[in-house]
Amino acid sequence: MPPPQQPKPDPSARFGELLGKSHSRWIGIARAYAAPADRDDLLQEIALQVWKSLEGFAGASSLETWAYRVALNTALAWRRKSATRATKISQAHYDVAQLAGSDAEGDETNVTAVLDRFLASLNDADRAVMLLHLDGVAQADAAEVLGVAAGAYRTRLHRIRQRFEEDFCQGEGER
């Protein structure tokens, strides 16, 4: 006699649980990959793509790791599409404007502005590595999200950290 089949989880309940656990990470991804005016649209697109893909979740990784990968891939596709839009606001222009207005707003804003500027300076792959690191995703899970070996993830993260130190930490008194 075959073993009884496990009932399939309710997709709405599963998505609701996933949304509760992952929404703040999706916001971070949207912030890193979309211009300020487009962030809400990207966030909706991420949620839609996770919802559409949920039925295909095979369980080879944790649901949260899988959803992070879907969110990241959605953001990368969004970025490629938005690069061709004539109305796209340059991320670099936004960062310069934000930095110019941040001096009077305090240290937290300055740290955020520096982080935004650094993230904007990274290519898409390195930005993904940095976001995973900043979100506190375990290295093994981060490597799985990116589809690379754990050692490759660690090496890339090390190089990104070095770049940050060289570009933003050295000669701090000279700026």
pLDDT at 109: 61
Domains of the chain, start order: 10-88 (1.10.1740.10)
Q: What is the pLDDT of residue 48?
A: 94
Q: What is the DSSP letter of 4?
A: P
- Cβ neighbours of 14 (radius 10 Å): 16
pLDDT, mean of residues 80-94: 51
Q: For 46-70, write each residue's pLDDT tens digit.
A: 999 999 999 888 888 888 999 999 9
Model confidence over 71-80: pLDDT tens digits? Answer: 999 999 888 8
On the question of pLDDT at 83 being above 70, the answer is no
Q: What share of the chain is helix, strand, coil (3-state, %, to 5)?
A: 75, 0, 25
Of 75, 81, 103, 79, nearest in space to 91 by CA: 79
Q: Check: CB of residue 133 under 8 Å from CB of residue 142.
A: yes
Alpha carbon distance 100, 10 (integer Å): 49
Q: Return the SS3 of 118.
A: helix
Query: What is the value of pTM for the model shown?
Result: 0.60
